[in-house]
Structure 1
Amino acid sequence: MRAFIFPGQGSQSVGMGSALAAASPYAREVFQEVDDALGQHLFKLMSAGPDSDLMLTENAQPAIMANAIATLRVLEREGGVRLADKADFVAGHSLGEYTALCAAGAFDLPTTARLLKLRGQAMQAAVPVGEGAMAAILGADRDKAQAIADAAAEGEVCTVANDNDPSQVVISGAKAAIERAVPLAKEMGAKRAILLPVSAPFHCPLMRPAADAMADALEKVTLQSPLVPLYANVTAAPVADPAMIASLLVEQVTGMVRWRESVLAMVAGGVHDFVELGGKVLGPMVKRTAPDATATSVVTMDDIEALLKAL
């Protein structure tokens, strides 16, 4: 069995999608459709920067999605591949969950772009700049990372945000608490902790205003049943019911991304082949979590052609 998986924030970089757009009209079509939906020249920003603008959450989220969907569109149109024929499940890391749902036909592309633009804006607005932070705890499992977060909290929000793989967990919360956690991590047995260059403390209770904004937005859009089930971030379990998916997308804004558990659950469910579209971040996480699984990251035309031979 196979899962198509889609990356989250942090996989953006200036130049993303440019080579694909130069090589395929189907990729250009996706980027134009996203530009039209947002009323901005997002692809120009993806291609040429500046990096400071692309890093903004409201731009990074739809850009990462557009790049992944363009990769899938080329695979489908030029390779004659249908997702429903080649994938048994989809999953995405944080914003990648929206990409996964778009890939599986639950959201159309313009709706996905607009939802992610709004999600980025709402997440940024939820906590004033400079009041929240995130840090990666390396060489620690989730329990150890949570113990570090608890020790650093001192009454402030500080909790596990992303359980990525057995050796990488991200914590999120009030800036002062996260800054206390960084030196504490090594003292408490982690290899090290690194402050992340993010503009807001994602996936923690401080994001409640953004969750409310997404609840309102999701009530106003059409969400179809996906062509294949989605492994949801907050449950690490498959879901196909549109109402339940919408509820989980809201919960995801403040909830933990249970990526390690999702990978293990997919493997336990029979998935042995993971294909990451539009990034090179999740594949290594999969391998660190499930060393016996196959993980392929697909970004370039050469990657697409190699995948087509393997499918």
Structure 2
Amino acid sequence: MSIAFTFPGQGSQAVGMGRDLAEAFPEARAVFDEVDEALHQPLSKLMWEGPEDELTLTANAQPALMAVSLAAVRVLEKGGLPLKDRIAYVAGHSLGEYSALAAAGTFSLFDTARLLRIRGNAMQAAVPVGEGGMAAIIGLEPTDVEAVCAEAAKGSVCQIANDNGGGQLVISGAKPAVEAAARLATERGAKRAIMLPVSAPFHSALMAPAAERMREALAEVAKTAPAVPVVANVTVSPLTDPQQIADRLVEQVTGRVRWRETVEWFGRNGVDTLYEIGSGKVLTGLARRIDRDLDAVAVNTPADIETVLKALL
């Protein structure tokens, strides 16, 4: 059995996430306390009590999701499952790549929380509210969606932001161009084309100011080689060199999250089991649609952790 840990991205947050881990395991509680300290904010209280609209803000959701993932990882490690001994690769969807790198030891927990706060604020500030947009396109091939984006852009920005698999792609860019692309996609046979309720055009060229801010922030933090390779979003290749990892994280701000290809890469390279570590089950559902030969399991409750430890130890 060859195992990869995957880590969820924005959209998997929910009020109450991680509270059962904190109540059951002191190692998990320590993670939430450290993230609160790093951010000078009682983020854990917001995570467990809400309000939901405040938790959903990009600057809060990103470090919050990472905290839940790392809490679960620390409990698994305390239970006798160190990554370097049993896990072949790690990967994360968008912000989840930071969770993966923190789990593998490239960044400290403290630094990861601060990086994600910077990332969230920088992405929000890159484009005035209302000028950017994103849409989910269901049921078209990537090449068809690329053609629709190119036709709709007309000198503006419209591009594929996420290739999530299961026939789902997300496009991002200037709001008028994205709206036009959504209409064109429907005309070209898409099953659905849905404008998304997001606050910024993530993973598009409009995020260039945020990419530069992350280049500066990543240059200032300590980085070490991960205990296991991370499969990067933008290149779908396993990385262990800290500078290459930082460079790919900068590219990720404006580049495509190639999640479908990442799951396919795991299947071609000996991985047979994916454990999604953290809040929700989004990546588990996507993996099952992308490669039915992979065993995909969500791990986010004390019972889930107990099941994993029994299976692997």
Alignment TM-score, normalising by the size of structure 2: 0.97
Tell me the residue number matched to 1:302.
303
Tell me the residue number matched to 1:55.
56
Q: For 1:164, what is the secondary structure of its paired residue?
A: strand
Once residues 21 and 142 of structure 1 are traced to their aligned partners in structure 2, the CA distance between those partners, rounded to angstroms, is 41
Structure 2: 5+ residue stretches without partners: none
Once residues 272 and 197 of structure 1 are traced to their aligned partners in structure 2, the CA distance between those partners, rounded to angstroms, is 35
Q: For 1:173, what is the secondary structure of its paired residue?
A: strand
Amino acid at match of 1:235: T
Once residues 304 and 245 of structure 1 are traced to their aligned partners in structure 2, the CA distance between those partners, rounded to angstroms, is 29
Superposed CA deviations along residues 157-195 of structure 1, whole A, max 9, x for unmatched, are: 000000111411110001111122223222111110111
Give the count of matched residue pairs: 310
Kindly indicate whether the alpha-carbon contact (under 8 Å) linking 1:31 and 1:66 is maintained by their aligned counterparts in 2.
yes
Q: For 1:295, what is the secondary structure of its paired residue?
A: strand
Once residues 34 and 120 of structure 2 are traced to their aligned partners in structure 1, the CA distance between those partners, rounded to angstroms, is 19
Amino acid at match of 2:29: R
Tell me the residue number matched to 2:93.
93
Q: For 1:201, what is the secondary structure of its paired residue?
A: coil
Once residues 180 and 310 of structure 1 are traced to their aligned partners in structure 2, the CA distance between those partners, rounded to angstroms, is 49
Query: Percent of pairs identical after alignment?
Result: 59
User: Once the 2 structures are TM-superposed, how far is the Cα of residue 141 of structure 1 from its aligned partner?
Assistant: 2.4
Tell me the residue number matched to 1:31.
32
Matched, 1:130 2:130: yes
Tell me the residue number matched to 1:198.
198
Q: For 2:275, what is the secondary structure of its paired residue?
A: strand
Once residues 46 and 114 of structure 1 are traced to their aligned partners in structure 2, the CA distance between those partners, rounded to angstroms, is 17
Tell me the residue number matched to 1:284.
285
Once residues 116 and 211 of structure 1 are traced to their aligned partners in structure 2, the CA distance between those partners, rounded to angstroms, is 13
Equivalent residue runs for 1:119-268 within 5 Å: 119-268=119-268
User: Once the 2 structures are TM-superposed, how far is the Cα of residue 302 of structure 1 from its aligned partner?
Assistant: 1.1
Superposed CA deviations along residues 181-216 of structure 1, whole A, max 9, x for unmatched, are: 223222111110111221110111000000000000
User: Once the 2 structures are TM-superposed, how far is the Cα of residue 52 of structure 1 from its aligned partner?
Assistant: 1.2
User: Once the 2 structures are TM-superposed, how far is the Cα of residue 37 of structure 1 from its aligned partner?
Assistant: 0.6
Superposed CA deviations along residues 234-290 of structure 1, whole A, max 9, x for unmatched, are: 000111011111111101100111111111112111111111000311111111111
Once residues 104 and 302 of structure 1 are traced to their aligned partners in structure 2, the CA distance between those partners, rounded to angstroms, is 23
Amino acid at match of 2:23: A
Once residues 144 and 31 of structure 2 are traced to their aligned partners in structure 1, the CA distance between those partners, rounded to angstroms, is 42
Q: For 2:226, what is the secondary structure of its paired residue?
A: coil
Kindly indicate whether the alpha-carbon contact (under 8 Å) linking 1:141 and 1:166 is maintained by their aligned counterparts in 2.
no
Query: Bigger CA drift: 187-196 or 29-38?
Result: 187-196
User: Once the 2 structures are TM-superposed, how far is the Cα of residue 154 of structure 1 from its aligned partner?
Assistant: 2.5
Kindly indicate whether the alpha-carbon contact (under 8 Å) linking 1:140 and 1:166 is maintained by their aligned counterparts in 2.
no
What is the RMSD of the two structures over their aligned residues, measured on CA atoms? 1.0
Kindly indicate whether the alpha-carbon contact (under 8 Å) linking 1:76 and 1:82 is maintained by their aligned counterparts in 2.
yes
Q: For 2:13, what is the secondary structure of its paired residue?
A: coil
Matched, 1:5 2:12: no
Once residues 231 and 11 of structure 1 are traced to their aligned partners in structure 2, the CA distance between those partners, rounded to angstroms, is 20
Amino acid at match of 2:109: L
Tell me the residue number matched to 1:270.
270
Once residues 256 and 119 of structure 1 are traced to their aligned partners in structure 2, the CA distance between those partners, rounded to angstroms, is 16
Tell me the residue number matched to 2:77.
76
User: Once the 2 structures are TM-superposed, how far is the Cα of residue 24 of structure 1 from its aligned partner?
Assistant: 1.6
Structure 1: 5+ residue stretches without partners: none
Alignment TM-score, normalising by the size of structure 1: 0.97
